[in-house]
Amino acid sequence: MMREHNRVAGELKRLNKHWNDEQLFQNARRIVTAINQHVTYNEWLPRVLGWNAVNLYELNLLPEGYSEDYDAYCNPTVLNEFGIAFRFGHSLLKPSLERMDGIFAKRNPPVKLSEHFFNPDLLYQPGMLDEIIRGLTTVSMETLDQFLTDEVTNHLFEDKRQPFSGLDLAALNIQRGRDHGLQPYNEYRALCNLTRARSFDDLHREIARPVIERMKRTYAHVDDIDLFTGGLIETPLHGGLVGPTFGCTLGIQFRNLRCCDRFWYENADPLVRFTDPQLTEIRKVTLSKLLCDNCDYVESEQWSVFDLPDPFLNPRVSCRDLPGVNLELWKERVSCGVGKTNIDISGAERISPCVMCTCTKEGPVCQSLKIDNCFHLAQSYSPESILNDHVCKVQCAFAFRAFPQVATQDSNQLGFANS
């Protein structure tokens, strides 16, 4: 995303040479934020929550036009519970990241997590970032379940010189929930419209039997189960990764992030919105295109990078064939051409006797003028220009017919009576 920011800022500078650093930064930031929101809700959330939950929490994006869902009275901040529920990703980690070359052959050695905590030097090696990205988009993740790789449960931030110095991420997550005063898992079940369990066996609809048996051995009472533990062990929602309790926590959070944010990219607020054509451009972008644009030598990506490549269902295509944002639409207007008239930005001109146009950032906006006195109009404009203006004709033809003597006076320039 940082590379994308700099790429967009560079393009904006080429298109708007008169912009200063602040304008370039703020506009690039706004575009990249919008792209991030679009990719997250369009490509990522459906895979985490499944389509049923996406529909239930109204997280579907609009295919066109502006959203009117902004609610100034709701709270967009991050829920305490979300800070724990969103750690479900820790269960998806593999012990090492595969590296792949340009023809997707594995490169050795893979990047072992525990060998690189606090040591990102590897990323400075030429081609390394591309190799890791190819690996990440080609190899499947771990299953979301009660297991976390040993690399983060025994070797997190380990000091190799000191045996057993590694931390346990699962324990940190559980303890962090308690530090933050979170309610037990059972309370969140009730809040999320599941039944409040009175015994361990009441969990059987959401949690597999053998896992319930392990819970019995771990916790003294069903009310003692922590949110992180209970959420992680639930059977996934249909078509998603997380179970109903994490699904509910994430669903509410992502709904708030969308509806309570005045700067949400689909919003209609005329002070901060994108133009309709700009919004259409943002809606074209996919994570595959982002990777293409920002890796060093990546030339192809599968259409949907959150899904494994497949020659039929998700083929790798050339980066050139993936749609992206056309930044030409952010070229700032300095003027608008309306017919033969050129109007400066923010200026207004009468382009004909009865039509006034204003040049806005989104293009010219024209409106008909109400004519109070047609004879005054006739003193200022030629008969041809008035007759050629449909708006004048509609308003003044009646007046000129009613007073034909105006047309016969020598001083009269109109000649309407003869027409």
Annotated binding site for heme b, which residues?
90
95 in contact with ligand HEM (CB under 6 A): no
Binding mask 118-137 for ligand HEM (x = CB under 6 A): --------------------
273 in contact with ligand HEM (CB under 6 A): no
Nearer to ligand HEM, 113 or 248 (CB): 113
Burial class of residue 170 in the structure, from the number of CB atoms within 10 Å of its CB (0-12 exposed, 13-18 middle, 19+ buried): buried
Report the binding-site residues. Answer: 90
Query: Taking CA 407 as the corner, what is the angle to CA 405 and CA 413, rounded to the nearest 5 degrees?
Result: 145
Binding ligand HEM by CB under 6 A: which of 25, 86, 263, 303? 86
51 in contact with ligand HEM (CB under 6 A): no
Rounded to whole angstroms, the Cα distance separating 9 from 45 reads: 28
Tell the residue number behind the tokens 């040049």, with chain if given: 359
Q: 338-359 burial, b if ≥16 CB within 10 A, otherwise e?
A: beeeebeeeebbebbbbbebbb
Query: What secondary structure letter does DSSP report for 321?
Result: G
Nearest 10 degrees: Cα torsion 247, 253, 259, 264: -110
83 in contact with ligand HEM (CB under 6 A): yes
Binding ligand HEM by CB under 6 A: which of 89, 277, 347, 363? 89
Nearest 10 degrees: Cα torsion 314, 318, 322, 327: 160
> What amino acid is encoded at 48 in this protein?
V
93 in contact with ligand HEM (CB under 6 A): yes
Length of the chain counted residue by residue: 419
112 in contact with ligand HEM (CB under 6 A): no
Return the beta strands (E) in 238-331 as ranges: 300-302, 316-318
Shortest Cβ 306–ligand HEM spacing (Å): 12
47 in contact with ligand HEM (CB under 6 A): no
Answer for the pair 112, 95: CB distance below 8 angstroms, yes or no: yes
Nearer to ligand HEM, 81 or 301 (CB): 81
116 in contact with ligand HEM (CB under 6 A): no
87 in contact with ligand HEM (CB under 6 A): yes
Binding ligand HEM by CB under 6 A: which of 132, 133, 169, 241? 169
155 in contact with ligand HEM (CB under 6 A): no
Residue nearest to ligand HEM (CB): 89
Shortest Cβ 160–ligand HEM spacing (Å): 16
Binding ligand HEM by CB under 6 A: which of 50, 54, 90, 197? 90
Nearer to ligand HEM, 203 or 291 (CB): 291
325 in contact with ligand HEM (CB under 6 A): no
Mapped onto helix, strand or coil, the DSSP state of residue 366 is: strand
Shortest Cβ 133–ligand HEM spacing (Å): 15
Q: Which stretch binds ligand HEM (CB under 6 A): 64-72, 82-90, 219-227, 382-390?
A: 82-90
Burial class of residue 125 in the structure, from the number of CB atoms within 10 Å of its CB (0-12 exposed, 13-18 middle, 19+ buried): exposed
287 in contact with ligand HEM (CB under 6 A): no
Answer for the pair 177, 185: CB distance below 8 angstroms, yes or no: no
> What amino acid is encoded at 56 in this protein?
L
Q: Which stretch binds ligand HEM (CB under 6 A): 168-176, 301-309, 395-403, 404-412?
A: 168-176
Burial class of residue 109 in the structure, from the number of CB atoms within 10 Å of its CB (0-12 exposed, 13-18 middle, 19+ buried): exposed
Nearer to ligand HEM, 93 or 369 (CB): 93
Rounded to whole angstroms, the Cα distance separating 263 from 49 reads: 24
180 in contact with ligand HEM (CB under 6 A): no
102 in contact with ligand HEM (CB under 6 A): no
Query: What secondary structure letter does DSSP report for 156?
Result: B
Query: Taking CA 66 as the corner, what is the angle to CA 39 and CA 283, rounded to the nearest 5 degrees?
Result: 30
Nearer to ligand HEM, 180 or 361 (CB): 180
Residues that bind ligand HEM (CB under 6 A): 83, 86-87, 89-90, 93, 113, 152, 169, 172, 176
